[in-house]
Amino acid sequence: MKALVFYGNEDLRLADVADPKAGPGEALIRVKACGICGSDVHGYLGITGRRTPPMVMGHEFAGEVAAVGPGVADIRVGDRVAPYPVVFCGECAACRAGNMHLCLNKRALGVLDCDGAMAEYIAIPARLLFKLSANVSYDVGAMMEPLAVAMRGVNHAGDLAGKTVLVVGAGTIGLLALALVKTRHPAQVFVSDLSDARLAVAGRLGADCAVNPSKEDLAAAVRAATGGAGADVAIEAVGATPTVQQAMSCLRTGGVGVWIGNSARMVSVNMQEIVTRELRVAGSFLYTVREFGEVVGLLNEGRLDVEPVISLKAPMMEEGIALFAKLAKDPGPLIKVILNN
């Protein structure tokens, strides 16, 4: 079969690889849609070291069950599915506590040396599959993984009813966090980003106020709208010192900062501000199986619209390599790119 194979820094090729087969407890998935994640682009550039060549890229995907192996009972050929893309052991302390994303023995699809879904087919454990209803397109189904990342971050924020929420960063995760926050009945939601094009998408997703901090004082805008108090919750979805500082400076005394962004290894924050104003900080990483199921449920029930986050859909084998190069060098207004088979 054909696949996009990573051979080294900025070396992604269309290659012939062995056809996968569904083993015991596995299902063979005909990949219909696969998103290009920011971590895929960083791996392509060799920034993170989390892609070990040669390997097939891709962990945000949805498809159709083409075959099932022995011992698979609740998944059938023809089912439309999105996978939880972390193969966990189910036996370690983290798994037993329900935190499969922290499994000590996990293998993440499309990460390190574990082949992913930028291919025609992929065989994975059937226990990882969630069924998609007919109203959910494969393109939106491929958004389940980043949506689950956002869901865990929003869950860390707690009850948002009647509260003022700030989302810093209107990339894929920030925009999906915004969509999820809006389902929880906040009083108002601010979104901050340097891109007016991305802020326009935030407006389509229901942001009450979109602020470009290069043109407007973000903290002043938030405080003006809250009687000088500040935001109850600030969700940081970039992972860099300037945006972390923005998020924390906009919080009210006793407010909660949720850090989903994961770009810079080290950031600088005002420690005295956190201590003296009793701000709370929660880090958020990946997602549990339960949270992945929550986002599948929201989409299957038609309670969430994330289509505006998708900037471009393109054929995987014909245009995937060029789109990786573009996203790495000059993404322009592109947010989420979906590759189709």
pLDDT tens string, the chain, 341 residues long: the values are 999 999 999 999 999 999 999 999 999 999 999 999 999 999 999 887 788 899 999 999 999 999 999 999 999 999 999 999 999 999 999 999 999 899 999 999 999 989 999 999 999 999 999 999 999 999 999 999 999 999 999 999 999 999 999 999 999 999 999 999 999 999 999 999 999 999 999 999 999 999 999 999 999 999 999 999 999 999 999 999 999 999 999 999 999 999 999 888 899 999 999 999 999 999 999 899 999 999 999 999 999 999 999 999 999 999 999 999 999 999 989 999 999 99
C-alpha to C-alpha distances, 57 to 80, 99, 188, 313, nearest whole angstrom: 21, 25, 38, 17
Instruction: Please indicate, yes or no, if residue 293 is contained in any of the structural domains.
Output: no
* Secondary element (H or E) of residue 294: helix 289-300
Asked if residue 275 and residue 156 are part of one domain, the reply reads yes
Q: In total, how many domains does the chain have?
A: 2
Helix, coil or strand: residue 296: helix
CATH of the domain at 197: 3.40.50.720
16 strand-pairing partners: 2
Reported in sequence order, the residue ranges of 193-249 that DSSP labels E, i.e. its strands, are: 209-211, 231-236
Instruction: Please indicate, yes or no, if residue 13 is contained in any of the structural domains.
Output: yes
Burial call 151-169: b when 16+ CB within 10 Å, e when fewer: bbbbbbbeebeebbbbbbb
Asked if residue 166 and residue 138 are part of one domain, the reply reads no
Asked if residue 204 and residue 117 are part of one domain, the reply reads no
Q: From CA 108, how far away is CA 86, in angstroms rounded?
A: 4
Q: From CA 280, how far away is CA 247, in angstroms rounded?
A: 12
Question: What pLDDT is recorded for position 212?
Answer: 97
Asked if residue 323 and residue 277 are part of one domain, the reply reads no
Asked if residue 128 and residue 201 are part of one domain, the reply reads no
Instruction: Report strand pairing: 55-56 vs 60-68.
Output: unpaired
Q: What secondary structure letter does DSSP report for 133?
A: P
DSSP letter for each residue of 242-279: HHHHHHHHTEEEEEEEEE-----S-----HHHHHHTT-
Instruction: Please indicate, yes or no, if residue 300 is contained in any of the structural domains.
Output: no
The alpha carbon of residue 77 and the mean position of all alpha carbons in its chain are separated, in whole angstroms, by 28
Instruction: Please indicate, yes or no, if residue 310 is contained in any of the structural domains.
Output: yes
Q: From CA 125, how far away is CA 70, in angstroms rounded?
A: 11
For CA atoms 99, 104, 110, 116, the dihedral sign is: negative
166 strand-pairing partners: 190, 234
Residue 102's domain comprises 2-143+306-340
Instruction: Please indicate, yes or no, if residue 289 is contained in any of the structural domains.
Output: no
Question: What pLDDT is recorded for position 49?
Answer: 76
pLDDT, tens digit (0-9, with 9 covering 90-100), for 307-340: 999 999 999 999 999 999 999 999 989 999 999 9
Asked if residue 217 and residue 257 are part of one domain, the reply reads yes
Question: What pLDDT is recorded for position 47?
Answer: 84
3-state SS of the chain: helix, strand, coil percent to 5?
A: 30, 30, 40
Q: From CA 123, how far away is CA 22, in angstroms rounded?
A: 5
**By the 8 A CB rule, do 226 and 164 touch?**
yes
Asked if residue 209 and residue 126 are part of one domain, the reply reads no
Asked if residue 79 and residue 171 are part of one domain, the reply reads no
281 Cβ neighbours under 8 A, 6+ residues apart = 248, 256, 257, 258, 259, 274
Helix, coil or strand: residue 119: strand
39 Cβ neighbours under 8 A, 6+ residues apart = 48, 50, 111
CATH of the domain at 64: 3.90.180.10
Asked if residue 102 and residue 54 are part of one domain, the reply reads yes
Q: From CA 210, how far away is CA 198, in angstroms rounded?
A: 9
The pTM (predicted TM-score) of the whole model is 0.94
The alpha carbon of residue 54 and the mean position of all alpha carbons in its chain are separated, in whole angstroms, by 24
